[in-house]
Each structure stands twice: as C-alpha cells, then as structure tokens.
C-alpha cells in the first residue's frame, strides 16, 4: 500500500537503530562519522525514499539559494534568450530560478512580486511590464534589503541596479541610417513611453531628425503594443495616408516584419518606396524578404551580466556596486533599408 507520509531522518534512524544526529551527519558526509556508517545511512535513506528538506535547511541559514525572475512575456525571443543567459550563470553558482511573467500587466506584476517575496527568494531580476506606473510594489523588497537588478526595461529608482544598452544612441543611429538612404519622412513605431526602451529610442529618433534638419511630424508617430498585429495595422494606416512616409523605424523586429509583409501585399516596394529598420536582431529579421536592417541587442549577455551582478550583491552586499551597466549594441544594415543609388554597401555593419 502506497503511503504519502514523508520519510524523515527519524525514520531512517529507527530503521538503522542509530541516533537521529548520527543519521543527519552521515547524510551530510560528516568526517566524524565512519565511512562505512555513512554509506549504510545513505543507502538506507535512498531505499526508504528520504528527501532532504533543503528549503527548511536554507531558511535556518536565512537564504534559499533561489532567485526570482519577472519578465513581461515568456514568448518573446529577446526575453527567452536573456533567461537562457540568466540560467547559465545561476546554475553555475548553485542558485535555482523561479520564473514568472507579468503578461505586460502592472497588476499582474504586483502579484508576481508578492508571490516571489512570499517564496523567500534571495533576490530578483526584473524587466518591467508595459504599463507599470510606479514602483510601490517593490517596497516590500527594498524594505527588507532584498536586492533587485533590473534589465532591459528598467526603473529610475534610488539604489537600483540596471543592465541596459544605450537605447537613445541606437535609435539615433537607426534613424540617421534611414536619412542617409534618402528618407525624409520617417515614421516611428514604438511602445508605451513609460518604458525607458521606447522613450529613449524615440528620443534618439527625434534628435536624428533635428540634426538632419528634418521637421518632426506627429502624424508619423505610432504608439502600439509592439505586436505583430500592431505592425500590420500600422502598415494599413500608412497605406491610407495621402503623404506616406518613405522610411519606417520600428522599436522591435516583430512589428517591422509584419509591417513589411503588409506593405508588400499592397505592392509597396521595400526599400525603394519605403525603407524599414527594426530592433533586436531576432532570427525573423533574416527570414523576411528583404532581410531586415536592425539593431543587435545582446540579450544573452544582458541576462548573464544581470545574474552575475545580483549574485555578487548577494555574496558581498557591502561592496557590491549599485549602478547602471551599459552594454554595446550594433546597427546591422541589411537590404530592407539600403537604396543602392545612395552608394551604400549591403555589407555595412556599424
């Protein structure tokens, strides 16, 4: 008959006629316990189905060797790649992960933070939801000195550490490239300006227009949820415009690709009539035809550095540096934006 009763060290001790303290030390390979006795204890424990309660043990030591991760979406190529980098570092350092997604909802993010706090994680790695307006729900962590490292979508808060790229510079470079190709009416397709990634890319876009003496046109700005559907719908709006843009800079590759597909369905030639640049360098950028000009965003490296920074903070809180780490990005120029009569080589990588 099966039993749901958890096997304890007292059960193992009773079966072997040893003291519980001897069994406990034997399971931990304590050198004061004879080797033969240790083997006998471990064999009996395995046969009886004993499982060490690491959670209780870690609680006694005031840590759980567990790190929480909160991301906007798990079905994002960027986030999946960043999590792979996080997992590599945490695994190498003996930490487990509890991963949750806010599903781009501030309210859901609040629930995720509360759940992870109650799960007694040692620290958190967070990329903020699309509509997060304030940081009050993080106070339960800050008040208990539980370290938080933000990555990609970061917070402007005192004592927070952030891992990012220079989104302003990347937005500037992508827009300037379109100008170099002869574009004068450049549309911008981005996300909620509450998030640094979108506000900074937009700021770079605007500054590039200023520096190239191109007048800013509010009708060319589209703020969406950055989904494939949004890219398609934006393309449909562009097709109905009396004065269409001759260039589009989108703040991710998903919207860029869906916009290209929709525009080409209506006979628009890319890049001859409308040049397009995206962001993130996702695999889809090299599948669409023409291949998409994009900004290479080092997602795996961001995940690795975020995890390393958090673990350093956990291991040496007194000396851990709280700052912003800015990683290098690259503008990768491909056929979706290159107009060859502008004497621009398709192999350029800046």
**Residues 106 and 133 both lie in one domain:** yes
Q: Using alpha carbons, list the distances in angstroms from residue 150 to 69, 173, 322.
A: 10, 25, 11
Tens of pLDDT, residue by residue over 285-343, are 999 999 999 999 999 999 999 999 999 999 886 555 568 999 999 999 999 999 976 54
Identify the CATH number of the domain in which residue 181 sits: 3.40.50.2300
User: Which stretches of the chain drop beneath a pLDDT of 70?
Assistant: 1-4, 53-62, 317-322, 341-350
Identify the CATH number of the domain in which residue 16 sits: 1.10.260
Say how many domains are in the chain.
Answer: 3
**Residues 139 and 204 both lie in one domain:** no
Residue 319: its pLDDT value, please? 54
Q: Which two tokens stand for residue 52?
A: 């060490």
**Residues 258 and 123 both lie in one domain:** no
Residue 169's Cβ-count burial label (10 Å; 0-12, 13-18, 19+) is middle
Catalogue the E-assigned strands of 45-154: 66-71, 96-101, 123-126, 148-151
Residue 317: its pLDDT value, please? 64
**Residues 203 and 95 both lie in one domain:** no
Output the pTM of the full model.
0.82
From 154, 160, 150, select the one nearest 194 (Cα to Cα). Answer: 154
Do the domain assignments include residue 189? yes
For tokens 């549309």, the residue is 187
**Residues 208 and 187 both lie in one domain:** yes
**Residues 33 and 153 both lie in one domain:** no
Degrees (nearest 5) of the Cα angle 9, 12, 14?
Answer: 110
**Residues 191 and 135 both lie in one domain:** no
Instruction: Give Cβ neighbours of residue 103 (< 8 Å, ≥ 6 apart).
Output: 72, 73, 129
Residue 238: its pLDDT value, please? 98
Owning domain of residue 288: 167-297+331-342
Gap between the Cα atoms of 252 and 195, Å rounded: 14
Do the domain assignments include residue 48? yes
**Residues 223 and 88 both lie in one domain:** no
Residue 59: its pLDDT value, please? 53
Instruction: Give Cβ neighbours of residue 317 (< 8 Å, ≥ 6 apart).
Output: 145, 147
**Residues 46 and 100 both lie in one domain:** no
Tens of pLDDT, residue by residue over 200-209, are 999 999 999 9
Gap between the Cα atoms of 287 and 56, Å rounded: 50
- The number of beta carbons lying within 10 Å of the beta carbon of residue 47 is 11
Residue 237: its pLDDT value, please? 98
């Amino acid at each position: 008959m099966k039993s749901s009763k958890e096997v304890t060290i007292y059960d193992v001790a009773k079966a072997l006629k040893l003291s519980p303290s001897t069994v406990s030390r034997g399971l931990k390979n304590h050198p004061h316990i004879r080797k033969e006795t240790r083997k006998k204890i471990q064999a009996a424990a395995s046969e009886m189905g004993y499982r060490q309660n690491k959670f209780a043990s870690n609680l006694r030591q005031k840590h759980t060797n567990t790190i929480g991760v909160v991301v906007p979406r798990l079905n994002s190529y960027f986030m999946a790649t960043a999590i792979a980098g996080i997992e590599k570092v945490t695994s190498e350092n003996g930490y487990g992960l509890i991963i949750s997604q806010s599903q781009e909802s501030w309210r859901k993010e609040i629930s995720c933070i509360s759940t992870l706090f109650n799960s007694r994680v040692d620290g958190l790695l967070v990329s903020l939801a699309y509509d997060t307006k304030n940081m009050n729900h993080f106070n339960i962590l800050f008040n208990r000195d539980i370290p938080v490292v933000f990555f990609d979508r970061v917070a402007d808060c005192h004592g927070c550490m952030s891992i990012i790229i220079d989104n302003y510079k990347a937005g500037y470079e992508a827009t300037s490239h379109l100008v170099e190709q002869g574009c004068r009416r450049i549309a911008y397709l981005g996300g909620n300006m509450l998030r640094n990634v979108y506000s900074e890319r937009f700021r770079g876009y605007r500054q590039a227009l200023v520096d190239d003496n191109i007048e800013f046109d509010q009708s060319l700005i589209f703020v969406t949820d950055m989904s494939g559907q949004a890219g398609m719908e934006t393309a449909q709006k562009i097709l109905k415009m009396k004065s269409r843009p001759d260039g589009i800079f989108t703040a991710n590759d998903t919207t860029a690709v869906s916009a290209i597909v929709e525009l080409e369905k209506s006979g628009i030639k890319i890049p001859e009539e409308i040049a397009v640049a995206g962001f993130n360098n996702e695999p889809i950028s090299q599948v669409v035809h023409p291949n998409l000009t994009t900004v290479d965003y080092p997602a795996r490296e961001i995940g690795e550095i975020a995890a390393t920074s958090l673990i350093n903070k956990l291991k040496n809180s007194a000396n851990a540096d709280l700052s912003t780490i800015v990683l290098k990005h690259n503008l990768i120029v491909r056929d979706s934006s290159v107009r060859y009569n502008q004497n621009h080589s398709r192999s350029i990588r800046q």
